[in-house]
């Protein structure tokens, strides 16, 4: 549809409420599956995220451009950990979407919710593929936005009869546990015997120790981004390590770099069947977040809102 033939604004803006009305985890999970396959197959143009440090405010701004099929665009994402004390989201983001054939702008979207949901959807993709079919116990280390969205997403792909949570803030952990029907406990107790573990904290130091992990467990490590930050100790990184992007992992993942861990495969390779599934005592999926995931999610928002191009 030509924008000039429409009475709508030339470049529509989708605020968070508009995104929330149409974006569903049930749709995101298959969309993330395909985006990861396409990324690992080389069908996506995407550099590693650039990061600008705003030291005076303890913040970071990431720039994430990509070209994916008939769309291209970029996400600007700001990470301000101190916002939590101000009652503000720690992650703020905007996504700009364009036609890849002409460069014409298609939409601008608030990216906070897209970032939240696509991250959880990617972990759901990894959990569906890499966790044991009989997995029933889920441990969540963290009590923020990502912790909540991960519980929602993972319950779509697994039958978890027991959920355990831990947070550095015990009051938040208890409130979170009551909210989702879980048990709040220590980090070690939460992880001990769990089939699937999610680390979704902003801790720069390990919150998960490998000695706590049982054989066959899957760890979805999503919280630490940056070469000096890590959520998992060296022992926890001794399993098979799966990543969303090898190139990004070698620059952005302190979990991998500090431990000197070896990357076994990209998740997209395993999804496509171009590499065999990992055979190891346990598996770690290190998720850093990719621009192609944001573009795929933004396309869902655009099409679900009845927009065409």
- If one counts every other C-beta atom within 10 angstroms of the C-beta of residue 245, the result is 28
For residues 26-40, one letter each, b for 16 or more C-beta atoms within 10 angstroms of the residue's C-beta and e for the rest, the string is: ebbbebbbebbbbbb
CA-to-CA distance for 150 and 290, rounded, in angstroms? 17
| Within-domain flag for 134 | yes
Residues 134 and 271 in one domain: yes
CATH number, domain containing residue 45: 3.30.1780.10
| Within-domain flag for 210 | yes
Residues 184 and 221 in one domain: yes
Domain that holds residue 33: 3-114+292-304
| Within-domain flag for 240 | yes
Residues 126 and 272 in one domain: yes
CA-to-CA distance for 191 and 116, rounded, in angstroms? 23
| Within-domain flag for 100 | yes
Residues 131 and 94 in one domain: no
| Within-domain flag for 309 | no
Residues 136 and 282 in one domain: yes
- If one counts every other C-beta atom within 10 angstroms of the C-beta of residue 216, the result is 14
- If one counts every other C-beta atom within 10 angstroms of the C-beta of residue 76, the result is 16
Residues 147 and 259 in one domain: yes
pTM of the predicted protein model: 0.93
How many residues make up the chain in this entry?
A: 309
User: From first to last of its 309 residues, what are the pLDDT tens digits of the chain?
Assistant: 444 445 555 899 999 999 999 999 999 999 999 999 999 999 999 999 999 999 999 999 999 999 999 999 999 999 898 998 898 988 899 999 999 999 999 999 999 999 999 999 999 999 999 999 999 999 999 999 999 999 999 999 999 999 999 999 999 999 999 999 999 999 999 999 999 999 999 888 999 999 999 999 999 999 988 899 999 999 999 999 999 999 999 999 999 999 999 999 999 999 999 999 888 889 999 999 999 999 999 999 999 998 877
Residues 59 and 193 in one domain: no
Residues 208 and 150 in one domain: yes
Residues 173 and 139 in one domain: yes
CB-CB contact of 93 with 87 (8 Å)? no
Q: Is the dihedral of CA 88, 55, 290, 301 positive or negative?
A: positive
| Within-domain flag for 193 | yes
Residues 69 and 174 in one domain: no
CATH number, domain containing residue 183: 3.40.50.720
**Count of domains forming the chain:** 2
User: DSSP 3-state assignment of 110?
Assistant: strand
Residues 192 and 296 in one domain: no
Strands (E), the chain: 13-14, 44-45, 50-54, 59-68, 71-79, 91-99, 105-110, 137-141, 162-166, 183-184, 196-199, 218-221, 240-243, 263-266, 283-286
Residues 242 and 148 in one domain: yes
């Amino acid at each position: 549809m030509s924008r000039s033939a429409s009475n709508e604004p030339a470049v529509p803006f989708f605020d968070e409420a508009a995104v929330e009305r149409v974006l569903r985890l049930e749709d995101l999970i298959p969309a993330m599956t395909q985006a990861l396959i396409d990324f690992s197959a080389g069908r996506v143009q995407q550099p590693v995220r650039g990061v600008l440090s705003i030291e005076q405010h303890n913040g970071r701004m990431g720039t994430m451009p990509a070209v994916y099929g008939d769309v291209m665009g970029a996400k600007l994402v700001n990470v301000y950990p101190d916002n939590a004390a101000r009652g503000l989201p720690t992650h703020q983001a905007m996504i700009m979407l364009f036609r890849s054939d002409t460069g014409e702008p298609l939409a601008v979207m608030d990216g906070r919710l897209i970032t939240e949901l696509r991250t959880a959807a990617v972990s759901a993709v990894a959990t569906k593929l890499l966790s044991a079919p009989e997995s029933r116990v889920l441990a969540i280390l963290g009590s923020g936005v990502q912790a909540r969205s991960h519980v929602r997403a993972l319950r779509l792909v697994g039958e978890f009869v027991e959920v355990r949570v831990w947070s550095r803030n015990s009051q938040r952990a208890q409130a979170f546990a009551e909210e989702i029907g879980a048990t709040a406990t220590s980090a070690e107790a939460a992880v001990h015997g769990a089939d699937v573990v999610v680390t979704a904290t902003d801790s720069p130091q390990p919150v998960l120790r490998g000695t706590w992990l049982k054989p066959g467990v899957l760890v979805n490590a999503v919280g630490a981004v940056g070469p000096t930050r890590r959520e998992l100790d060296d022992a926890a990184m001794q399993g098979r390590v799966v990543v969303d992007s090898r190139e990004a992992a070698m620059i952005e993942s302190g979990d991998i770099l500090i431990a000197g861990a070896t990357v076994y495969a990209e998740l997209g390779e395993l999804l496509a069947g171009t590499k065999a599934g990992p055979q190891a005592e346990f598996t770690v999926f290190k998720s850093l977040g990719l621009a192609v995931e944001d573009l795929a999610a933004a396309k869902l928002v655009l099409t679900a809102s009845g927009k065409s191009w």
